Amino acid sequence: MAKHVLILGGGFAGLAAARALQGTPCTVTLVDHNNYHLFQPLLYQVATGELPTEAIATPLRPLLAPTGAHFRLGRVLAIDLAARTVQLAENATLSYDYLIVALGSVTNFFGHADLALHAFDLKGVEVAEQARSRILYAFERAMSCTAAAERSAWLTFVVAGGGATGVEFAAALLELIRILIRRRYPDLQKTPPRVVLIQGGSALLPGFAPSLQAAAAAKIRALHGDILFDTHVTAYDGQTVQSPSVAPLPARTLVWTAGVRAHPLTAALPGADPHSGRVVTDARLRVSDHPEVFVVGDGLASRHQPPWPQVAPLAIESGRYAATVIRAALLQRPPPPPFIYRDPGSMVVLGRYDAVCQIDRWHIRWRGPGAWLLWIGLHLYRIMGTRNRVLTLIDWAADYGSHGNAIEIIRKGQP
């Protein structure tokens, strides 16, 4: 009987593993609570109206069909390592011979329940669409406000977290606001909207060279955004952002990009770090005392310093590597050399025609239209499915060509 490889998660890591197992003498099943693969790096563009959801969400069954892998829609509730089974919410149990845990990460609100209740975290399609509706709704509410303080609160948008997602979202939001004020809401020019980017450290884009960090901050300010460094959001009731280092900030919209941690089921595995939830595996990505269980993607911790980034390249490389280890075992071949992650570099877009790029292995520090074009090409390459690539390219061309082809629909029940 063929061995069963069970993959939990249809993100970059899980999909890479399924594809790498193609042709291997085994049965492969991929489980995800969504029936689509989500291109997370561009989710913020759904929130700012630059892209429709359909451009970054690709159905999993067509993606898996060429690999021969099976797809199972379901939410994973528990992993029983001793019994080698996985429990799904639909009262179903799946057994496995090999397990690849590729469950990704979840938002870390650091124990603040009020933030989880009132902030938008940009971790899923539904929340991104809700954030987009909230932004548009805020402008409509501001138009009907008679009190200046209330109007200002509706037109204040706070972004917590100055990493790549926070900076990209803030830049895109500032450009969207400029277009909306000029074309849709000229009456609000007397009360200009405000975007406040709050960063816990002393610089944006941790891990980037100081020159690129400074360039990102300068660009946000050039777009008329405000930056608060060395500041942490500690409370938010949907009305006012609280921080111990600054005065209370009235704002009806808070977008949270200030932290993630490994999925709770990943964090429950042996070797998981108590703070990040990421698992320290052996050199071949196997869980301690369970050589049949692999952890890949955002849940994988580096065995050495510095920590590995929770990004798509690591997810793809680790997913493929786990598949090669399993393939070697099934074919009774020697295992591959230990896993080594070689960081291909980092890129952050700073709005139209501008981006920063850092490739440490080649000592490259790059900023400007050339880096932006590279960012465009790389993201189009990584988007799953020809239809999605074409749809994204068309939307980008319309948006950048017309300087404002944003999606401006407020969905019912979402503000």
The catalytic residues are 168
Q: Give the separation between CA 365 and CA 99, rounded to whole angstroms.
A: 39
Residue 59 pairs with which residues in a beta bridge? 36
Distances (CA, A) of 339 to 298, 302, 319, 381: 15, 10, 11, 24
Contact 305, 327 (CB under 8 A): no
Q: Which helix (DSSP H) or strand (DSSP E) does residue 248 occupy?
A: strand 246-250
Q: Exposure pattern of 239-249 as b/e (b: 16+ CB <10 Å)?
A: eebbbeeeeeb
Strands 85-88 and 76-80: antiparallel
Helices 369-382 and 386-402 cross at an angle (nearest 10°) of: 150
Q: Residue ranges of the alpha helices (H) in 101-230?
A: 113-118, 125-144, 148-154, 164-183, 210-222
Distance, in Å, from the CA atom of 200 to the CA atom of 186, rounded to the nearest integer, reads 34
* Encoded amino acid at 200, one letter: G
Handedness of CA 323, 325, 326, 332 (dihedral sign): positive
Say how many C-beta atoms besides its own lie within 10 A of residue 141's C-beta: 17
Residue 87, H or E segment: strand 85-88
> What is the C-alpha separation between 116 and 120, in angstroms, rounded?
8
User: Which residues, 6 or more positions from 98, have their beta carbon under 8 angstroms from its beta carbon?
Assistant: 3, 4, 5, 6, 26, 292, 293, 294, 326, 329
Across the strands, what pairs with 226?
A: 196
DSSP annotation of 245 reads T
Residue 140 Cα distances to 145, 159, 185, 305, angstroms = 9, 20, 9, 49
**Phi-psi group of 209: left, alpha or beta (phi > 0 → left; psi -120 to 50 → alpha; rest → beta):** beta
Are 196 and 226 within 8 A, CB to CB?
yes
